[in-house]
Structure formats: C-alpha cells, structure tokens
Amino acid sequence: MTGYGAARLLREGLRGHRGWTPAWRSPEPKPDYDVVIVGGGGHGLATAYYLARVHGVRRVAVVEKGWIGGGNTGRNTTVVRSSYFYPESVALYDLALRLYEGLSRELDFNIMLSQRGILTVAHTEMEMDVCARIVNAMQINGTDAELFDAERVRRVAPLLATSPGSRYPVLGGFWQGRAGVARHDAVAWGYARAADRLGVDIIQNCEVLDFIVENGACAGVVTARGPIRAGRVGLAAASHSAVLAAKAGFELPLHVYTLQAMVSEPIKPALDTVVLSLGTGVYVSQSDKGELVFGGGIDRVTSFAQRGNPPVQEAVISGLLEMFPAFGQLKLMRQWAGIVDVAPDSSPIIGPSPLPGLFLNCGWGTGGFKAIPAGGFLMAHLLARGEHHEISRPFDLDRFARGALIDEAAGSGIAH
Amino acid sequence: MQIFTCPFCGARDETEFRFMGEAGKQRPEGGRAVGEAEWAAYLYLQRNEKGPVREIWMHQPCGELFLLARDNVTHAAEPGVGLRPEGA
Ligand SMILES: Cc1cc2nc3c(=O)[nH]c(=O)nc-3n(C[C@H](O)[C@H](O)[C@H](O)COP(=O)(O)OP(=O)(O)OC[C@H]3O[C@@H](n4cnc5c(N)ncnc54)[C@H](O)[C@@H]3O)c2cc1C
Ligand SMILES: [Zn+2]
C-alpha cells in the first residue's frame, strides 16, 4: 500500500508512523533526457506529469534549485477561479479549473479543492458597471458568473461592511460559484508524486546556471551538479526565468515585483467564501485551520528580495479592516512574500523562446496558482510536439511585437 | 520602510517615489522605418538583472526624474543622481 487511505493511516498510527516512505525518489541526474524542465514549482511539475502521462515522454527531469514548491507555488494564497475578461484568458483559466476539479482523483492525492465561490464586491456605480461587463463576458465565454445586488452580497458575507456609512459601501458585486481555494503544497506534491511514479526524475537542490547551446540551439542545461543534456528544455522558473533568459541571450517582457500575503491568528469559521474588493484590491478567505488568509496589490519596487515592505502591508491591512471591521480584533500571525514575474498585460507567456529548443512557461505573475494544471498541460503539449496547443497560441511571446496583448490588468481589474 | 534620496528634496519615504523603468533605454530613431520587433523590444523587454541595478525613478511630490543605483536583493540604495545637464 502506498496511498494515504484511512486503513493505512490507522495502521501507521498504531505503529508509531515508522512505515512511511518518501513520496518521490531523489535520483542523481542522468547525463541526458528527452526533456529537462527548469523550476520545480507547480508549473514545472505539472508539465513533467502531463509529458509522461499524456504524451508518453518519460525521460524527463525537473531541475529545482531549492525544494519543490518552495517558490511562489508554496507562498500563494491559493485562490482558484476563471473570472477573467478575454475569451483567450477564460479558455486558459477555465481549462485549469476543470482539470483542478478532477485532480484529487487523477493524482490520487487530496489537493483539498474547496469550491466555496468567490465574491467580488463593488463600491461605486462604476465598479458595478465593471462587474456587469465581466459577468457578461464570462457568460459569453462559457463559464459561470452571476451579478449580485447588495442584498445577495450580504447573504454570502454577512460580516462585510456594506452600509452606506461605511468607508467602502457595497452596491453589489459578482459571484463565481465554481471558484475557491486548494492546498498549494498538495498541488506541488501531488504532481511530483504522480510524475515520479511515471519515471520522471525530480532533482532538488540543483541550480541551473546556464544553457548548453550547440549550433544555435539549446541542447541542455549547465547545473551546479554538472551538465545535463536534453532534446528540449522548458523554462518554468517564475521570476528567475528572466534572469536565466539573459544566459540564453535574450530578454523577456517581464517585471519582477514583490507580492505579499498575511494570515491572522486562527478563529472559528467566520467566512465561507473568498471575498475580493474592487475598491481596495484586498482579498481574503479563511483557511481550514481557521486563519484569515489575505493579500492585495504588489510592492511597486522591482525586487528579488522575497520579502515585503511595510507601506503595502499597511494599505492591505487597512483595506481589510474597512471591509471587515470585526477582524480588527485579530492578531496578525505571519507575513511573507514571493517574487512574481509580471508581464505588461498581466497575462502569462507560453511558447517557444528566441533560442530554438528552449520553451517558456512564465509570466504568471500574481495569479498563476489557479492556472497550474493548464500551464502544465499546455507546456507539455508544446514540449512534446514542438508546437502550440490552440489554447496557448495567443499567449506566445510574439504577441508583444504583433500588438496582440491580452490585457487582463485592464480587462478584469485582476487580483490573484 | 525604504528610504530613497531625491537629488533635490533629500531623503524621503519610499511611498513618495515611483519606479519608471530600467536606465539606459534608447528610443529607436527612424519613426516608421523602425520595425515591429524593435518597437516591441523598446517598449516591453527588460534586462531584469538580479543584484545591483540602475533605474529611473520619479520623486512624485517634486516631479523630478532621476537615476537610482540600488541593489534589488539587499534593498540598499545610493543617493539619487539628477538627470538634468549641469546648469539646466
Ligand atoms: C503572496 C502571493 C499570493 C499569491 N496568490 C495567488 C492566488 O491566490 N491565486 C493564484 O492563482 N496565484 C497566486 N499567486 C501567484 C502564484 O503563486 C504563481 O503565479 C505560481 O505559483 C507560479 O508557479 P510557477 O511554478 O511558475 O513558479 P514557482 O512556484 O515560483 O516555481 C519556480 C521554481 O523555479 C525555481 N528556480 C528558480 N531559479 C532556478 C534555477 N536557476 N535553477 C533551478 N530552479 C530554479 C524556484 O526555486 C522555484 O521553485 C500568488 C503569489 C504570491 C507571491
Ligand atoms: Zn524631490
């Protein structure tokens, strides 16, 4: 037995938990693979899994400089949704949500997907118009969305300050019922275990330092543990994709910013949905442990420091307290940050890079946790076939020169 | 809290400043003759160096643009240097 079923838990509990074995191997890197993926975040691990599972490409390595899921995948606030504006985005994020819906079963690993819905609230007439526009777009694009009046908002989030006297009075909002949260570590670990079982080598503590370039094409990577050759290389290193791009001789249209999040002390269940305010940019949900998990905008100082600055913390906390005055009694327990790779249109970059043989899956910025299954699925298609899946085509790097940006920052007023 | 130094107003709180872009970008000369790829590169591509960087910032209260040499890992920052030619 290798699963985590009730019988096994009971048996291990009685035996002092001495029978558990690692969920994936820690192999030595082989000299060459069909595909090497740089970065063991959710996107890199999911790419490896779908390469092996869907395309039968099993000579695959994921090379991670630290530990898997230790980047943004393990630092995010785990909101999953497909409430985007443009058809291209809804196609992408709804594919991800559909894959998430079946993922615990597919991976035989509980990713704790909780489709508790996301409520986006509007505080002005203009924001109500924005909500109506997004709801129309989402429905036309084939995903679920509903426009709410103030009364329905109150019913879903009774602790939210909605009265005309509050700093941010609530006029209404919109609802996506299939949205929710999932456990971030479980997504990384579930994909890792499933990929490992299909023969993928997950190589941790192995930084990629450079690329092997032969005859003008990428032929592998140079790592801290020596060179590893590969037929194709996938770059899924989030913010460090931009740093590694320089080694491969090109630049990416990305800015690297800090994004922070915070949790309160744990309390009894008080909020059973995700709430996002269009006015404050703050969003909040309650974790299974009872903590309020919340965040807001990015620190607008380009940074690789992986820690946040007080001014944004202050803005986020005051936004939260204006929305939920009752939360003012709580203690803040932890604060942390990730470094996010933001494209000018706040949409990801998936596709070939300027260096033949090297492919990109980056630019997920502040919102790529929700996209992990789709990012992996589409990147696997690209690496196996050498060409785009129709859903990833619009997200190619060429959109910048073609002027075909998918401006979700403007379109859906994105938060995470 | 980070403190940056405007060449005109002196040391101020980071909230007064706005990041404008990486230093050293040259707008392509030649108008319509400039190709799409070159425009896209000018508009969108970033060097994204990790560590010491040179950037253009604005001090919003006085509106001045200046050069800021900073380390984006340690967050150490040198005093800002004005961009106006001497005597302007
Ligand atoms: C505070 C915060 C809150 C967020 N909230 C949400 C949210 O609610 N919903 C949502 O959808 N998204 C959210 N996001 C965004 C989301 O976390 C990311 O978009 C997503 O996790 C990106 O996954 P990834 O696999 O591309 O990157 P990562 O998980 O960062 O993985 C990249 C990996 O590459 C490795 N790496 C880097 N350089 C090298 C190298 N040279 N060699 C080898 N490996 C290397 C890193 O160590 C890292 O493990 C949030 C992000 C943050 C920071
Ligand atoms: Zn000044």
- In A312-409, DSSP assigns E strands to 332-342, 349-352, 358-362
Closest C-alpha to A198, from A385, A17, A8, A24: A24
The pLDDT value given to residue A416: 54
Length of chain B counted residue by residue:
88
**Amino acid code (one letter) for A359:** F
Closest C-alpha to A403, from B31, B59, B39, B74: B39
- Asked if A350 and A382 touch (Cβ cutoff 8 Å), the reply is yes
Distance between CA atoms of residues A343 and A348, nearest Å: 7
DSSP character at residue B85? P
- Asked if A69 and A182 touch (Cβ cutoff 8 Å), the reply is no
DSSP character at residue A69? T
Instruction: Give how far A3 is from chain B: nearest CA, Å.
Output: 41
Q: Read off the pLDDT of each residue in A51-59 and give the average, rounded to a whole number.
A: 98
> What's the gap between Cα B1 and its chain centre?
20
CA of A153 to the centre of ligand 1 (A): 32
| Interface contact A400-B1, CB threshold 8 A | no
Distance between CA atoms of residues A340 and A290, nearest Å: 27
A236 Cβ below 6 A of ligand 1: yes
- Alpha carbon nearest to ligand 1 atom 50, residue: A76
Paired tokens of B10: 């002196």
Q: Choose one of A43, A62, A72 to mutate for the ligand 1 pocket test, by most ligand atoms within 8 angstroms of C-beta.
A: A72
Mention the CATH class of domain B3-24+37-82. Answer: alpha beta
Closest C-alpha to A204, from A321, A46, A37, A316: A37
What are the residue boundaries of the structural domains of chain B, listed by start?
3-24+37-82
Q: Ligand 1, closest atom to CA A366?
A: 15
Q: Which ligand is nearest to the CA of B57?
A: 2
A118 Cβ below 6 A of ligand 1: no
Domain ranges in chain A with CATH number 3.50.50.60: 24-76+185-252+345-411
- Asked if A53 and A194 touch (Cβ cutoff 8 Å), the reply is yes
User: Which of chain B's residues have a Cβ under 8 Å away from the Cβ of A251?
Assistant: 41, 45-48
The pLDDT value given to residue A1: 46
DSSP character at residue B28? P
Distance between CA atoms of residues A380 and A374, nearest Å: 10
Distance between CA atoms of residues A235 and A244, nearest Å: 9
Inform me whether the pLDDT recorded for A314 exceeds 90.
Answer: yes
pTM: 0.96
| Interface contact A309-B72, CB threshold 8 A | no
CA of A342 to the centre of ligand 1 (A): 11
pLDDT tens for residues A216-250? 999 999 999 999 999 999 999 999 999 999 999 99
DSSP-derived 3-state class of residue A138: helix
The pLDDT value given to residue A2: 65
Q: In what order do the strands lie in the sheet with A118-122?
A: A146-149, A172-176, A118-122, A274-277, A283-286, A292-302, A255-264, A332-342
User: In chain B, which residues have pLDDT < 50?
Assistant: none
| Interface contact A305-B75, CB threshold 8 A | yes
Residues near A1 by beta carbon (within 8 Å), at least 6 away in sequence: A7, A8
Q: Ligand 1, closest atom to CA A369?
A: 11
Q: Determine whether A246 is exposed, middle or buried from the number of CB atoms within 10 Å of its CB (0-12, 13-18, 19+).
A: middle
Closest C-alpha to B47, from A349, A360, A247, A252: A252
| Interface contact B40-A400, CB threshold 8 A | yes
DSSP character at residue B77? B
Name the residue facing B72 among A245, A253, A303 (closest C-beta): A303
A29 Cβ below 6 A of ligand 1: no
Mention the CATH class of domain A24-76+185-252+345-411. Answer: alpha beta
pLDDT tens for residues A380-401? 999 999 999 999 999 999 999 9
pLDDT > 70: percent of chain A? 98
The pLDDT value given to residue A111: 97
| Interface contact B36-A402, CB threshold 8 A | yes
Inform me whether the pLDDT recorded for A79 exceeds 60.
Answer: yes
**A66-102: b (≥16 Cβ within 10 Å) or e:** eebbbbbbbbbbbbbbbbbbbebbbbbbbbbbebbee
Strand partners of residue B4: B12
Domain ranges in chain A with CATH number 3.30.9.10: 113-179+256-342
pLDDT tens for residues A256-287? 999 999 999 999 999 999 999 998 999 999 99
pLDDT > 90: percent of chain A? 94
- Asked if A37 and A62 touch (Cβ cutoff 8 Å), the reply is yes
Residue ranges of chain A whose CB lies within 8 Å of a chain B CB: 239-240, 242-243, 245-246, 251-256, 300-305, 309-311, 344, 400-403
A113-179+256-342 to CATH, choices 1.50.10.10, 3.30.43.10, 3.60.20.30, 3.30.9.10:
3.30.9.10
- Asked if A315 and A309 touch (Cβ cutoff 8 Å), the reply is no
Task: Give the number of C-alpha atoms closer than 13 A to the C-alpha of residue A66, restricted to the C-beta side.
Answer: 10
> What's the gap between Cα A293 and its chain centre?
16
A293 Cβ below 6 A of ligand 1: no
- In A236-357, DSSP assigns E strands to 255-264, 274-277, 283-286, 292-302, 332-342, 349-352
Name the residue facing A401 among B19, B36, B47 (closest C-beta): B36
- Asked if B18 and A301 touch (Cβ cutoff 8 Å), the reply is no
pLDDT tens for residues A99-112? 999 999 999 999 99
Distance between CA atoms of residues B60 and B19, nearest Å: 10
Instruction: Give how far A56 is from chain B: nearest CA, Å.
Output: 36
- Asked if A187 and A325 touch (Cβ cutoff 8 Å), the reply is no
Inform me whether the pLDDT recorded for A52 exceeds 70.
Answer: yes
Closest C-alpha to A412, from A77, A83, A171: A83
Residues near B66 by beta carbon (within 8 Å), at least 6 away in sequence: B6, B7, B56, B57, B58, B59, B80, B81, B82, B83
For A180-234, the DSSP string reads EE--HHHHHHHHHHHHHHTT-EEE-S--EEEEEEETTEEEEEEETTEEEEEEEEE
pLDDT tens for residues A133-152? 999 999 999 999 999 999 99
A41 Cβ below 6 A of ligand 1: yes
Task: Give the number of C-alpha atoms closer than 13 A to the C-alpha of residue B4, restricted to the C-beta side.
Answer: 26
